[in-house]
Copies of this chain bind each other. A is one copy, B any other.
Amino acid sequence: MVAAPPAVGLPDVSTVWLRVFLDVARHGSFTVAARTLGWTQSAVSRQISSLEAALGGGPLFDRLPRGVRLTEAGRVLVPHAEAVTEALHGAARELTELREVAGGRLRFGAFATADAALVPQALAAFRARHPGVRLTREEGITPGLLNRLDSGHLDLAVVSTTGRTPLEPYELHHLLDESLYVAVPAGHPLAGATGPVRLGRLADDDWISGSSRPEGTLLDAALRQGFRPQVTHVVGEWTAKLGYVAAGLGVTLVPALAAASVRQDVALLPVLDEGAPARAVYAATARGRSMAPAAAAFLGALREAAARIPRWGPGGTMA
């Protein structure tokens, strides 16, 4: 998972030795270095001895009557020792950033409707709180996103389920149960209705849907109500669907997440859900794989955004 290394014999040196070495080089004295490090002189003496033995290149310091002085070997070692401590500092810094969600990356995906309100709101809050995190976003359908999650290309995916949830290798964090709306044209008999309507009252309407067969789509809800809706027009895009509705060509179901972005010349009626909610929205992460701090923070932002999504949108009452 990482490129191959040179793989040669390399001395087993402690990074502590190297820091002591630099401190001694700086002060020109074992005793002074020991004082600044809070150790005894004997400890420093042995640290340097150990380092000299490990590197096998003779003494690093000339021991003078008053203090020590770098030998040629010691002078050569200094920049490399500094590079080591530099790298360790860098690692410590970057890991701290990661822990404090001030750095690192977050790769997430979401299904299309989630991008209408839920994801953008969560994203705005997250970016405001954690501007240092590099974000990459993908759009896709639930099975595709879960595959990407499984293969390690995504850290988190916002997915939706109509029926059973695919619990297998995923950790699902429930965000919200999505209620349904039915969009009707302005002149429709139910356009002025107050409060939720039973779906059965639209059993004789023409329906606009993304698929001619209701099974597996939002129109499952109609089947559960005991009627098979007549799909007069098969239209995929939300804007197109609502255009058909606005033109009086039929009615269509709108999930709660898309309710806020519906045009003004159609009426949205909350659908009375009897039994199971139309679909649930989850944030999915890979099971058994530790969540990156940024993913945990983003999950929190998603929960907050989900709590702000109205259960009954325009024309209905808030739950």
Contact = CB atoms under 8 A, between A and B. Distances in A.
A8 B71 contact: no
A91 to B, nearest CB: 4
A76 B10 CA distance: 23
Nearest to A96: B57
Contacts of A86: 83
Contacts of A89: 6, 8, 10
A5 interface: yes
Interface stretch (A15-23, A123-131, A210-218): A15-23
Number of copies of this chain that the complex holds = 2
Interface stretch (A142-150, A191-199, A285-293, A303-311): A285-293
Contacts of A292: 71-72
Interface in A62-100: 62, 64, 69-73, 76-78, 80-92, 94-96, 98-99
A2 interface: yes
A294 to B, nearest CB: 8
Interface string A88-117: 111110111011000011000000000000
Contact of A83 (B1, B59, B83): B83
A25 interface: yes
A59 B288 CA distance: 12
A132 interface: no
Contacts of A294: 72
Contacts of A255: none
Contacts of A73: 95, 98-99
Given A10-B19, A15-B13, A26-B2, A94 B70 contact: no
**For A2, A62, A292, which residue has the most chain B Cβ atoms within 10 angstroms?**
A2
A82 B221 CA distance: 57
A14 interface: yes
A167 interface: no
Nearest to A97: B76
A26 B4 CA distance: 8
A136 to B, nearest CB: 13
Contact of A104 (B16, B62, B72, B87): B72
Name which of A91, A104, A155 has the most chain B CB atoms within 10 A of its CB.
A91
A208 B293 CA distance: 88
A87 B80 contact: yes
15 contacts: A2-B26, A5-B22, A5-B26, A5-B82, A10-B88, A13-B88, A55-B91, A55-B95, A56-B95, A59-B290, A72-B290, A76-B94, A76-B95, A76-B98, A77-B91
Given A62-B288, A69-B152, 9 more contacts: A12-B16, A14-B14, A58-B99, A59-B290, A72-B294, A76-B94, A81-B87, A81-B91, A83-B87
**8 nearest A-B pairs in the assembled complex, by CB-CB distance:** A80-B91, A83-B87, A72-B292, A57-B95, A84-B87, A62-B289, A80-B87, A2-B26
